[in-house]
Amino acid sequence: MASKGIQGEHPSVTLFRQYLRIRTVQPEPDYAAAVAFLEEQAHKLGLGCQKVEVAPGRVVTVLTWPGTNPKLSSIVLNSHTDVVPVFKEHWSHDPFEAFKDAEGYIYARGTQDMKCVGIQYLEAVRRLKAEGQHFPRTIHMTFVPDEEIGGYQGMALFVKRPEFQALRAGFALDEGLANPTDAFTVFYSERSPWWVRVTSTGNPGHGSRFIEDTAAEKLNKVVSSILAFREKEQQRLQSNPHLSEGAVTSVNLTKLEGGVAFNVVPATMSACFDFRVAPDRDLKAFEKQLHDWCQEAGKGVTFEFAQKWEKPKITPVDDSNPWWATFSRVCKNMNLTLEPKIFPAATDSRYLRAEGIPALGFSPMNRTPILLHDHDERLHEDVFLRGIDIYMQLLTALASVPALPSDS
């Protein structure tokens, strides 16, 4: 076991708080400090440590615990090191102090998203190694940059590298969400982010005149069509108790641009939308729908993508998937209630699934309000510590899954 933490604090909690104090906050994360921290953990645990620079200053750190049978595919435990920005004035405590209150709640950016999980992986491996355990399958812990800004200079590049192919990943775990109830949420797919900019062109002129065919009128038609679609999807979600948020397509109008003065009718206006497309929706048909909305609004209305994910993949959550069978059996044995869902936003799991690797998003935090990206993001130390126990059981079983046809 590691040395005793501060004032009798559990050493795993002490390590967690150390990691939280590293300011890996976007837009200028201190990645060098995070990599140094992880290298030190690898050294202490006797794990292999590989640093893969996928883009300038963007390093994926891979900590490896070799299995006894190198012919088998490996288990990848993924987490991201970056966190989202903070508005300090809205926090009860400094978001990078990792303050722990008298009740045991730790306040810091990254407590839920997702530095907790990164340390839970490490501490589960630490304890299993201390017990003298060995498993057939190799376990790789990947710590990636830039997930919070889309993963374009992180996991998106890493999965295309020979170093990633060399991991021979058979199954992956990545982040999930807290669950305020007794249950634990597990994610088997996610919606596709489509960021769309609609641009409308029309007749300009003086603000005092009834000008025909203006950019604003036509843009308004598109906005109305898209918001009517939003209303329909929201109704569908609200009227069906069996649907989760991730099972419908959401959209929000996030930006309006155009115009130069109060008394000038602009020749061009644009609107930006954040669509999250449900994984079962026909993407070609949906893109045609966007075309139709623009066409119906009039001439000179076009759209372009700022982001367009086109590889939605679903990891089966039935016994046809031996990884799910193992994962769910372990949870059942621990009396954990699982709620399988489609992740409403996007995580790095999408890049893994797109490479044909089954992946589950799982952050073992129940009886915990969802506070990712929120002010006063916090996690109770007991919930954090229980998560380590859960991962110990999961890793023991997953790294011992017998040879599968996909391993050859």
| Residue 14: per-residue pLDDT | 98
Q: Work out the percent of the chain whose per-residue pLDDT is above 70.
A: 98
Q: Residue 320 pLDDT > 80, yes or no?
A: yes
Give the pLDDT confidence of 124-174 residue by residue, as tens digits. Answer: 999 999 999 999 999 999 999 999 999 999 999 999 999 999 999 999 999
- Angle, to 10 degrees, between the axis of helix 115-130 and the axis of helix 381-398? 60
- Judged on CB neighbours under 10 Å (0-12, 13-18, 19+), 253 is middle
Q: Sign of torsion, CA 369 173 322 192?
A: positive
Q: Residue 232 pLDDT > 80, yes or no?
A: yes
| Residue 331: per-residue pLDDT | 98
Distance, in Å, from the CA atom of 190 to the CA atom of 312, rounded to the nearest integer, reads: 7
Residue indicated by tokens 């192919």:
165
pTM of the model: 0.93
> What are the Cα distances from residue 158, in Å, to 31, 199, 276, 406?
16, 34, 24, 22
- Judged on CB neighbours under 10 Å (0-12, 13-18, 19+), 231 is exposed
Distance, in Å, from the CA atom of 115 to the CA atom of 111, rounded to the nearest integer, reads: 6
Find the mean pLDDT for residues 265-294: 98
Q: Phi first, then psi: what are they for 326, rounded to 5°?
A: -70, -50
Q: CB atoms < 10 A from the CB of 343, how many?
A: 25
Domain 6-190+313-407 fold is: Aminopeptidase (3.40.630)
Question: Pick from 145, 143, 84: which is nearest to 118 by CA?
Answer: 143
Give the pLDDT confidence of 85-131 residue by residue, as tens digits. Answer: 999 999 999 999 999 999 999 999 999 999 999 999 999 999 999 99
Which residues lie across from 380 on neighbouring strands?
Answer: 105
At residue 5 the predicted structure's pLDDT band, cuts being 50, 70 and 90, is low
Question: Pick from 270, 278, 286, 177: which is nearest to 220 by CA?
Answer: 270
Q: Is the peptide bond before 334 cis (omega within 30 degrees of 0)?
A: no
At residue 283 the predicted structure's pLDDT band, cuts being 50, 70 and 90, is very high
- Judged on CB neighbours under 10 Å (0-12, 13-18, 19+), 181 is exposed
Strands (DSSP E) found in 11-125: 48-55, 58-65, 74-80, 99-100, 105-107
**What is the rounded average pLDDT for all residues in the chain?**
97
> 215, 199 in Cβ contact below 8 A?
no
Distance, in Å, from the CA atom of 357 to the CA atom of 187, rounded to the nearest integer, reads: 14
At residue 380 the predicted structure's pLDDT band, cuts being 50, 70 and 90, is very high
At residue 399 the predicted structure's pLDDT band, cuts being 50, 70 and 90, is very high
Q: Which residues are catalytic?
A: 82, 147
DSSP letters of 221-290? Answer: HHHHHHHHHHHHHHHHHHH-TT--GGGS-EEEEEEEEE-S-TTEE-SEEEEEEEEEE-TTS-HHHHHHHH
Q: CB atoms < 10 A from the CB of 68, how many?
A: 11
Q: Are strands 301-308 and 169-174 parallel, antiparallel or unpaired?
A: unpaired
Distance, in Å, from the CA atom of 365 to the CA atom of 266, rounded to the nearest integer, reads: 51
> 248, 278 in Cβ contact below 8 A?
yes
Q: Are strands 169-174 and 74-80 parallel, antiparallel or unpaired?
A: parallel
Q: Which pair of tokens denotes residue 236?
A: 């569908």
Q: Residue 3 pLDDT > 70, yes or no?
A: no
Residues forming CATH 3.30.70.360 domain(s) in the chain: 192-308
Domain 192-308 is of which CATH architecture? Answer: 2-Layer Sandwich (3.30)
| Residue 8: per-residue pLDDT | 84
Q: Residue 2 pLDDT > 60, yes or no?
A: no
Q: Residue 394 pLDDT > 60, yes or no?
A: yes
Residue indicated by tokens 């209303």:
231
